[in-house]
Amino acid sequence: MTWNVSPGRSFLLIVPHGCDGIQSARSILAWTIENLRIPAHCEGHRAAVVWITTDEATSSRHFVRKLRRKLSDSVQGGLPFEDEEYPSDELEGIVSVANAAGIIRLS
């Protein structure tokens, strides 16, 4: 469904407490690699799968910064992200930079 809209959409999957989060993330990664077909107009782009557990992120700003670091780590030389006052604005900037770079993180 993510590619049926323009521009593409992101998904946030929350695995319920008590479930095996790491195994769930691995299953989603395997499904994504096997099944997600990116349309021709997005050639060169790939889907990003990044997992962050609730134990890793103590606030919305912390979550956004962890996401930013994980996406940047997937590109040689990193990505030019800007710091923003509000986490929601920073998240929007991260998505914009990642989309412009056509990056992927499948791990």
d(CA 98, CA 25): 21
Q: What is the pLDDT of residue 5?
A: 47
Residue 7, pLDDT above cutoff 70? no
What contacts 91, CB < 8 A, 6 or more positions away?
Answer: 64, 67
Average pLDDT over residues 8-30: 77
Q: What span, in angstroms and rounded, lies between the C-alpha atoms of 7 and 105?
A: 19
**CA dist list (Å): 92 to 64, 86, 96, 97:** 10, 10, 6, 9
* pLDDT tens profile 43-94: 777 666 777 777 778 898 998 898 888 888 777 777 888 888 998 888 888 8
Total-model pTM: 0.62
